[in-house]
Every structure is written in C-alpha cells, then in structure tokens.
Structure 1
Amino acid sequence: MTDTTTTQPDTRPADAPVDYETLAARFRPIFDRIAAGASEREQDHRLPSDEIRELAAAGFGAVRVPIASGGAGATLPQLFRLLTELAAADSNIPQALRGHFALVEDRLVGRSGERDPWLERFGRGEIAGNSWTEVGSVQIGDVITKVTPQDDGTFRITGQKYYSTGSIFADWIDTYAERTDTGERVIAIVDAHQPGVAHSDDWDGFGQRTTGSGTSTFTDAVVQADAVVLFDDRFKYQTAFYQAVLLTVLAGSVLAAEREIALQVRNRNRVFSHGNADTFAQDPQILQVVGEVSAAGFAASAIVDRAAEALQAAYEGAALDEAEDERRNDRAELATAQAQVALTSLATTATSHLFDALAASGVSTTKNLDRHWRNARTAGSHNPWVFKARIIGDHAVNGVEPPRVWAIGATRRG
C-alpha cells in the first residue's frame, strides 16, 4: 500500500537549544525585586507597570522569539518554567502577560511575511495585551466588536471588551472582532497608543488584583491592514496555551506559599503549650505541614512541565503530516485540561494549609498571606474546571476529543 501522506515544510526559524539555567539567570534578579514588592503592590493596588517594563527591557517578553529577531529562542517548556518562577514572585504578572505570549506564539507559527515584522517588534521589547470577551449579555457566539475597512486600506475598530488582561500595560492589543464587510471572525492587533483606545482597571475580583484586567474600549481606532488576521488561521493549540499560563499562576502561588510558610515558621518565637517542641521551627507537626506545602509545590511544577511538553509537541507537529499534527493538538488540549483539574484543587488546598501552620497570626492583614489562596482560587475559577473534568471523562470513556475553542455568552432562546 502506497503512503500518500505528505509532510508540510516547516518554515519557522529554528535556534540551537538554549540552556535553561543560563536563560533564567538573566531574569532571577528581577524576579527577586518583583517578589520583594508584591504584597505591598497588592495592598496599595499599584499596578506592576514598572516591573513589566523592566522585564520587557531585559528581553523577557521575547524569550520565545528567535535569536535572529532579538529573542532567546526558548522552547515552550522553558517559557513555562520561567513563568512559574515569575508567578512565585508575583502571580499577577504572568497572567498580565498571558495575551502577550499567546500573540508571540501565534506570530511565531505564522507565515514568514506576516511573522517577521511582529517578531522584530517583540524582540525590541514591545508588549501585547488581550481583549476577547464581549461586555454584557451578548448571546453566545456573537461578536459585537467590529472592524470596518476604509478607503485608504486601513480598518477601524469599535467595541468594548472585558477581562482584557494585560492590555493596560500593552503596546498592542490582540482583539477578537468581526469584519463588517465579510462577516469573518478576525484578530485585530490594535496599536494601544492612540486616542481611540481606552482602558479601565475595573476588575473587582478578590484575587489577582493587579493583573490590569478590566474594560477596554475601542472607538473608531485605527488598525493597519497587516494587523487583521483570520481567526481560523490562529495557532491550533491556542486554548491549551492560554490555560497553561494559568497553570503557572497556580503553581507559582503554591511555591510562594511554601516560601512564606517556611520563613514565618523559621522566624516565629512564640510556641503553644500543647505543642511538641521548644521552638516552632522544631515542632514535628508544623514541619509536616510545611513539608506538605513543599511537596505540593513540587507536584505543581511537575504538572506544568508535563503540560508544556504537550504544547511543545503540538508546536513541532506543524512540520509533520496533518493527521499527526491534529493528534498532537488534541493531546495538548487534553493535557492542559487534566492539569487544570488536578492543579486547581492541589493549589487551593496547599495555599490554605499555610494557615494550619501559622494559626491566628497568619491571618493578619498586614502580612497579607491570604493573597496566595485568593490568587490561586481566582486563577482556578477561569474556564471552569468542572466542564473540563466532564470533557476528560468523555474522552476516557468514549474517545471524544476535547474541543479546542469555546465561547461564553447568554443562552440563545426562541
């Protein structure tokens, strides 16, 4: 039997492998400074604009960009390990950069003519935000934000989006819209620095308070013709990618809780009369709790690594035959769903255990230790895991592949 499958040429730029520790060493001093101010920023509700700009200037936003375009040429597992380390410093910042890294990934796998100018922008330190979710009781599947072609070859975009995470920090905004002339669903990459674009930091969640999420409003804003991309041409593993960034937020929250609980136990002077040692740092029951949190951090990091490996396989699948490419993308979606179901419970439990060791003094608002649980609980609430668990079960029992794209909105009636 003749094999009629064809291998698609992979025209994406390739780099020699980069050593992770060498790469991470560039950013760890910045991570340390970010961690030192994370609690105070949250308490004062000060957005990490300076911190994100420092990261961008150091090349953090370009770690996936090829070396020839000014980046580091990192793999996806390396990117997600870096994001986990950053999340351990301040879990708000990886989420604020979620849309940025997704747009970098989309441009990285795009055609060379469409890809290269964007990779060069990201290589120079420019940052993208995210703006997809419609405001209000929009019916599921409808897109109210519109782009309209102009006589001069540009487009104009009008609409309003919520959950526009990171857009308040951005140079460009990755915006989901609909063309008024053809009805096609597109991504409009909008220049954020123009009068027709406004942001409101009106996200009111109890966690992830400084992600810069909130409302973005577009009023007849200009979009260049080469910045309007068909949604169907987006990279296939995009939903899995977005979910994987939230996995780093969860894992980083656990690692941050581990760091905090160890420090608090080490420095505590007071003990309980019904405890087990003369110092808190030697009490075996307290050490057990700290050990459980530490083990959860280890497991959380391992879960992120496994999901990132599946994403890397999906990225590499474009160079293979179509059937294998589709299989790898399905596996990436399944892996990130499995990771989300497992890690949401693990992270919220581990960050809650922090208070089992520290007792009433741990709930001090001055210490602000509850932010780790609040941040994990908030990140775990996106893209509800209960639906993912059912999808995973349907795959295990019936072999049904998970959907790669979904939407939110009001139920259609009538």
Structure 2
Amino acid sequence: MSRSIPTELLSRIRQGAVQRELERTLPFEQVGWLDDAGFGALRVPVEFGGEELSLQELITEVIALAEADSNIAHLYRGHFGFVESLRFQPAPVRELWYARVRQGATVGNASTEKGGNALGSLNTRLDRDEHGAALLTGEKYYSTGTIFSSYTRVSAAQALEGEGRRFAVVPTDAPGVTLLDDWDGFGQKLTGTGTTLLDSVAVEDLAVLARRPGDHESVHEAAFFQLYLLAVQVGIARAALADATSTLARRTRTFNTSTAGQAFSQDPLIQQVVGRMSSKAFVAEAAVLQAARTLDRALSAGLQAGTGDPGFEGEPPRAIHQAEIAVEQAQVSVPELVLAVTSELFQTVGASATLRTKALDRHWRNAQTIATHNPIVFRARSLGEYEINGTVPQGLNAIGEAKESS
C-alpha cells in the first residue's frame, strides 16, 4: 500500500462503526480490507522490501484508524508489536517473518493468563516430544487480535534449553489451537480479546523466539505497546470531537435558558465546551507524537549500540530508557485528557445524546477500557521515583498472582 491508509478506506471503515458496535459484529471484513491493502507491513524495513514508516508515521496512521474505529486500530497492536520485536532477532528469523508479513500474514497476541500463574511465571509451556519437536500447551486470555490473525505469538515457560521464558509463534488454524470469542468487557467489544487454547501445538524452529526481560527488545517493546494504546485513545478523542461537532451542526432544538436563544451551535457556552474538547484532544495527540519521536531516536540509538545481529546482549543504552520514560509521562496524562473529551461530549447535546442507537457512550467506554491496560498509578509513582532518585522505571513485562507476604 502507500505510506498511509487511503482516505476512502478509512471512510468505509468509519461508516459501519456504530452498527457494528450496536450489533456486536466483529470486523472481519474491515480487517480483510486493511490486510489486503498491506497495512500490517508498514513497519517492515526497506532492506526486506517494506515501506518502513517511522514510529511517528505509524502512530499517526493508528490515530487516524482509531478515529474511524478504535476496535480495529487496537486489534493490530499485537501484530505491530511482533513486527517491532523482529528487529532484535537473528537474521534467519527476520528473513522468514518479514517475508510472511509482506505477503499479508498478521500475528495476534496471546501473552496473559487469566489466573493461577505466579507473578513472573507462566503455566503455558514449551516442551519437546519424543522426536525433539517443540510443542506448545496452555491457555491464554486477553488474546487481542488473534481471532483475526494468521498467527499468534504466545508467551510460554520452556524446557527446551533450560528454564526461562520464550515466545512461540503458531498458526491460528493449526491443529490443537482453539480460539474463543468470549471477551465480555464493556468497551473495545470487537477486538477479539478472548481465550486461546493450545493443546500440544507444533512449533517450527524459527518460530521459537528469545524473551529476556530487561534487554533492548523488552524495554523497547514495553514502551511501544503502551504508546500504541495511547494512539488509539487519541483517535477516540478525535472521534468524540467529530461526533460533537457533527451533531451540533444538525441540531435545531434548544432550551429557553440558552444564552443565545438560537441553535446550540450558536451558543457561546456550548462553543466553549467544544473548544475545551478540541484543546484536550490536541494536547493528547501532541504528547503521543512527541513520545513516538523519542522512541524513534531511541530505537536508532539502540540498534547502533549493538554489533552483528540486532539481537545483542548488554544493558540498553540510555536513549531507550529515556523513551520508556517519555511514554510513561504521556500515559499518566493522556488517558485523563481523552476521558474528559469523551465525557464533555454529553454537555454539547443534551439527553438525546444518551440514545442507545447513537452509541456515543462507546467513546467513553472504549477509552476507559484501554486506560486499564497498564495501571496509571504505578506509572506515576515510578516517574516520581525517577525524578527524585534517578531510578530507571521498569516496563510492564509480567502479570500474575502476588507472592504471599511473610
């Protein structure tokens, strides 16, 4: 595709967003349009035949897509996270998977377990059969995007080369893979964020990927995944603002208490509310794009610090940690701005805005759902510790049962 999503394609996706929300229709058709257009390959490096958009350019496209339909933008998060991770993998892995992505393959996410795993450990396992082949067994929840994807990337404990964690990438239609559409959250209902069941699923050799918390890849990935969510939230804010202005443009009814005595669109107080919404959406987008630029610079610095294949060892350079800090700074403020925009939308219209058929509440529900992914209170605390004591924040890389106190 071109270096941006065609306007006509965004318009087609936007047209059915409310109906899909009301009927809970998963957007398989719309995802197919984007896959056919090559959306998933926008970050493939030029040396592997890709467009290689910068992160800032990609985030700009994600914001535009999220404005059209936040569910569709969100469900590609695991895929683009996987494509990012390839930059740190050995050459044979990069050659195989970049080629598949260029051919239209997409990769979902299956990392989190619903319960029963201790923090820092996983119940999903990679083992070998009697012939030495790698087999994957376990159960994952929050498998966003997997039901729409060709493959899914699964985090697993492993006994292939001693203990530790790995990623295994398996076809979603492979024997032993079962995908359940059982996500029941009140927001982002159409992201396919359900359960993935894995029963002795065969894993090819170049689909077992290293996973080392604290290295260049994991620090970059933690920042990228959160930045991506912030971009989706900005798209939601822009959609809420657009719905406010388009609704006002059509509205002729008013109240006798209106200061203008005319249509809402002429009332200075209503105009002031929309002005605040516009400002907050602008500030949120500016913060996210600045964080994306910082991440671009950090990624370049991180790769230059390595030798040979990009999957190098050693402490990540300061630039990568600075990018994580920039993303965390945005995360503390952007969700609050976006939630304010989606709430103020209802001050611009009146009771008719609550009609279910308009689905205007989806903006708040979707933004609030996304805001829960990485607890903001933990991010604010770690930023404070960094500012006071210089302690580098730790990216989110594990969820599980808390250890018992002594």
- Give the TM interval when normalised to the shorter protein: over 0.9
Question: Counterpart of 1:252?
Answer: 235
Give the SS at the match of 2:170: strand
Which residue pairs with 2:327 in the alignment? 336
Deviates more, 1:82-91 or 1:26-35: 26-35
Residue of structure 2 aligned with 1:268, choices 220, 238, 251: 251
| 1:280 and 2:264 are equivalent in the alignment | yes
Letter in 1 for 2:368: R
For 2:384, the equivalent position in structure 1 comes to: 393
Query: Conserved in 2, the CA contact under 8 Å of 1:108 and 1:119?
Result: no
Pairs within 5 Å for 1:115-194: 115-181=94-160, 182-194=162-174
Answering whether residue 167 of structure 2 is matched by residue 196 of structure 1, we say no
State the alpha-carbon separation in 1 of the partners of residues 270 and 389 from structure 2.
45
Q: Does residue 312 in structure 1 map to residue 296 in structure 2?
A: yes
SS of residue matched to 1:402: coil
Letter in 2 for 1:351: T
CA distance in 1, matches of 2:201, 2:357: 43
Could you say what secondary structure the match of 2:188 adopts?
A: coil
Q: 2:360 aligns with which of 363, 369, 387?
A: 369
Alpha-carbon separation, structure 2, partners of 1:319 and 1:215: 35
- Aligned partners of 2:186 and 2:365 also within 8 Å: yes
Whether the 8 Å contact between 1:99 and 1:130 is mirrored in structure 2 is yes
Question: Which of these residues, 204, 210, 227, is aligned with residue 224 of structure 1?
Answer: 204
Gapped regions of structure 2 (runs ≥ 5): 307-313
Contact 2:112 2:140 in 1 (8 A): yes
Q: CA RMSD in A?
A: 1.8
- Distance in 2, matches of 1:170 and 1:153, equals 28
Structure 1 residue aligned with 2:370, among 376, 379, 397?
379
Q: Which residue of 2 aligns with 1:78?
A: 57
2:223 aligned to 227, 234, 240, which one? Answer: 240
Task: Name the aligned partner's letter for residue 332 of structure 1.
Answer: A
Q: Is the 8 A contact 2:219 2:324 kept in 1?
A: no
1:95 aligned partner: 74
Aligned-pair distance for 1:276?
2.3
Query: Within 2, Cα distance between the matches of 1:400 and 1:324?
Result: 15
The one-letter amino acid paired with 1:39 is V
User: Per-residue CA shift, 1:19-48, capped at 9, x if unaligned?
Assistant: xxx622x43221111111111111111111
What is the CA–CA distance in structure 2 between the aligned matches of 1:221 and 1:33, rounded to whole Å?
Answer: 37
Query: Are 1:37 and 2:13 an aligned pair?
Result: no
Three-state SS of the structure 2 residue aligned to 1:237 is: helix
| Structure 1 residue 381 displacement after superposition | 1.0
Distance in 1 (CA, whole Å) between partners of 2:325 and 2:266 is: 43
**Equivalent pair of 2:229/2:370 in contact (CA under 8 Å):** yes
Contact kept, 8 Å, 2:92 with 2:206, in 1: the verdict is no
Contact 2:280 2:338 in 1 (8 A): yes
Identity %: 38
**Cα distance in structure 1, aligned partners of 2:379 and 2:95:** 35
> 1:159 is paired with a residue of what secondary structure?
strand
**Length, aligned pairs only:** 393
Deviates more, 1:363-372 or 1:274-283: 274-283
* Contact 1:27–1:55 (8 Å) recurs in 2: no
| Alpha-carbon distance in structure 1 between the residues aligned to 2:248 and 2:315 | 51
Letter in 2 for 1:243: Q
What is the distance in 2 between the residues matched to 1:176 and 1:290?
A: 44
Q: Deviations over 1:335-368 (max 9, x none)?
A: 1111111001101111100001111111111101
